[in-house]
Structure 1
Amino acid sequence: MYAIVEIAGQQFKVEKGRYIFTNRLEGDSNAELVFDKVLLVDNNGTVTVGAPTVDGAKVKATILEHLKGDKVIVFKKKRRKGYQKSNGHRQYLTKLMISDIVA
């Protein structure tokens, strides 16, 4: 059983017992979150597509930790002009464990 859920403006395919990384969400570690913007539910071959969401479907998740992602290097250069600039950042992420999908 899996579901497509919208979390913070992004869509994720989630399954029970799996981990996902999302952009930083509000809440402490071990906090329980419920997402009700479920767009699709597949229950062993029976697919339910929402218009725009599936009525009564919810995804329950637990916040495991807040962390930072891998460093991304941004390098800009204009040839023959003597211009080059290097910049980088690390994205703030939240690690979630999907605990249940209610359809």
Structure 2
Amino acid sequence: MYVIAEIQGQQFKLEQGRRLFVHHIKGAESGAVVEFDKVLLVDNAGNVTVGVPTIAGAKVVCEVVSPLVKGDKVLVFHKKRRKGYRKLNGHRQQFTEVLVKEIVA
């Protein structure tokens, strides 16, 4: 059984026991339980249910494993040719690692 759920503006394929990195959830602590109720699709052994736009009563229960994980460094380089203009910026995206505990369809 798997579901497609929207978590902070991104869609994820979630299965029970799977770990994933979502955009940083402010105020989340390690071991806390978070619920996501924007479930867009449920596949239960080949029986597919598609929401319009979401499925009423369906939710995903997750446990926060690590509240703050930094991603890889992303370098952003701007240049205009023949003008002597170069600018280098970089950042590391912040994520929260969650573990899918239960899927309620």
TM-score past 0.5 threshold: yes
Tell me, in whole angstroms, the C-alpha distance in 1 between the residues paired with 2:81 and 2:53: 48
Aligned residues: 103
Could you tell me which residue of structure 2 aligns to residue 46 of structure 1?
Answer: 47
Superposition deviation, residue 61 in structure 1: 0.4
Superposition deviation, residue 56 in structure 1: 1.4
Superposition deviation, residue 69 in structure 1: 0.6
* Post-superposition CA distance 1:61-81 (Å, at most 9, x none): 011111111000001111111
SS in 2 for 1:60: strand
Q: Which ranges of structure 1 fall in alignment gaps of 5 or more residues?
A: none
SS in 2 for 1:25: coil
* Post-superposition CA distance 1:34-59 (Å, at most 9, x none): 11111100001000111111121110
Could you tell me which residue of structure 2 aligns to residue 4 of structure 1?
Answer: 4
Could you tell me which residue of structure 1 aligns to residue 61 of structure 2?
Answer: 60
Could you tell me which residue of structure 2 aligns to residue 75 of structure 1?
Answer: 77
TM-score computed with the length of structure 1 as normaliser:
0.96
SS in 1 for 2:57: coil
TM-score computed with the length of structure 2 as normaliser:
0.94
Superposition deviation, residue 22 in structure 1: 0.8
Tell me, in whole angstroms, the C-alpha distance in 2 between the residues paired with 1:58 and 1:102: 5
SS in 1 for 2:52: coil
Could you tell me which residue of structure 1 aligns to residue 33 of structure 2?
Answer: 32
Q: Which ranges of structure 2 fall in alignment gaps of 5 or more residues?
A: none
Moved over 2 A (4+): none
Match status 1:88 vs 2:97: no
Within a 5 Å distance, the mapping from 1:9-20 to structure 2 comes to 9-20=9-20
